[in-house]
Amino acid sequence: MNDRLVELLKCFSLKARVFQTGPLCHSASFDQVAGVGYIHVLQTGRLQVRSRAHTALQFDEPILFLYMNPTTHHLTPQGPDVEMVCASFEFGAGLNNPLARALPDVVVIRLMDIPALDRALSLLFIEAGEHHCGQQAILDRMMEVIIVLVLRDLMDQRRLQFGLLAGLADDRLARAINAMHAEPAREWSLEALAETANMSRARFANRFREVVGTTPGAYLGEWRLTVAQSLLRQGKPVQYVADVVGYGSASALSRSFRAHVGRSPREWLKADQALGGQINSTAANARQQRRG
* Residue spans of alpha helices (H) in 23-134: 98-102, 115-128
What pLDDT does residue 13 have? 84
Residue 89 near residue 143, CB atoms below 8 Å: yes
What pLDDT does residue 246 have? 92
Residue 190 near residue 216, CB atoms below 8 Å: yes
Phi-psi region of 134 (alpha: psi -120 to 50; beta: other; left: phi over 0): left
Q: Answer yes or no: is 103 within a domain.
A: yes
Tens digit of each residue's pLDDT (9 = 90 or more) over 107-131: 999 988 888 888 899 899 899 888 8
Residue 37 near residue 90, CB atoms below 8 Å: yes
**Beta-carbon-side half-sphere exposure of residue 188 (alpha carbons within 13 Å):** 28
What pLDDT does residue 285 have? 59
pLDDT confidence tier of residue 277, bands split at 50, 70 and 90: low
Q: Answer yes or no: is 94 within a domain.
A: yes
Residue 38 near residue 66, CB atoms below 8 Å: yes
Q: Mean pLDDT throughout 140-169?
A: 92
Q: Mean pLDDT throughout 26-55?
A: 93
* DSSP E strand stretches across the chain: 14-23, 28-30, 37-44, 47-51, 54-59, 63-67, 73-77, 83-91, 107-110
Q: Answer yes or no: is 15 within a domain.
A: yes
Percentage with pLDDT > 70 across the chain? 93
Tens digit of each residue's pLDDT (9 = 90 or more) over 186-216: 999 999 999 999 999 999 999 999 999 999 9
Domain that holds residue 74: 6-157
**Residue 251 above 90 pLDDT?**
yes
pLDDT confidence tier of residue 11, bands split at 50, 70 and 90: confident
- Of 25-34, 90-99, 132-141, 210-219, the poorest mean pLDDT is in 90-99
Q: What are phi and psi of 97, to 5 degrees?
A: -75, 115
Q: Answer yes or no: is 132 within a domain.
A: yes
Residue 14 near residue 37, CB atoms below 8 Å: no
> How many domains does the chain contain in total?
1
Q: Answer yes or no: is 196 within a domain.
A: no
CATH of the domain at 141: 2.60.120.10
Global pTM reads 0.87
Q: Answer yes or no: is 95 within a domain.
A: yes
Q: Mean pLDDT throughout 244-266?
A: 90
Q: Answer yes or no: is 151 within a domain.
A: yes
Tens digit of each residue's pLDDT (9 = 90 or more) over 43-62: 999 999 999 999 999 999 99
Residue 256 CA to residue 263 CA, distance in Å, equals 9
What 3-state class would DSSP assign to 173? helix
Q: Answer yes or no: is 233 within a domain.
A: no
Contacts 24+ apart (CB under 8 A), 256-259: 256/221, 256/224, 256/225, 257/225, 257/228
pLDDT confidence tier of residue 98, bands split at 50, 70 and 90: confident
Task: Name residues whose C-beta falls within 8 Å of residue 56's C-beta, 6 or more positions apart in sequence.
Answer: 48, 49, 50
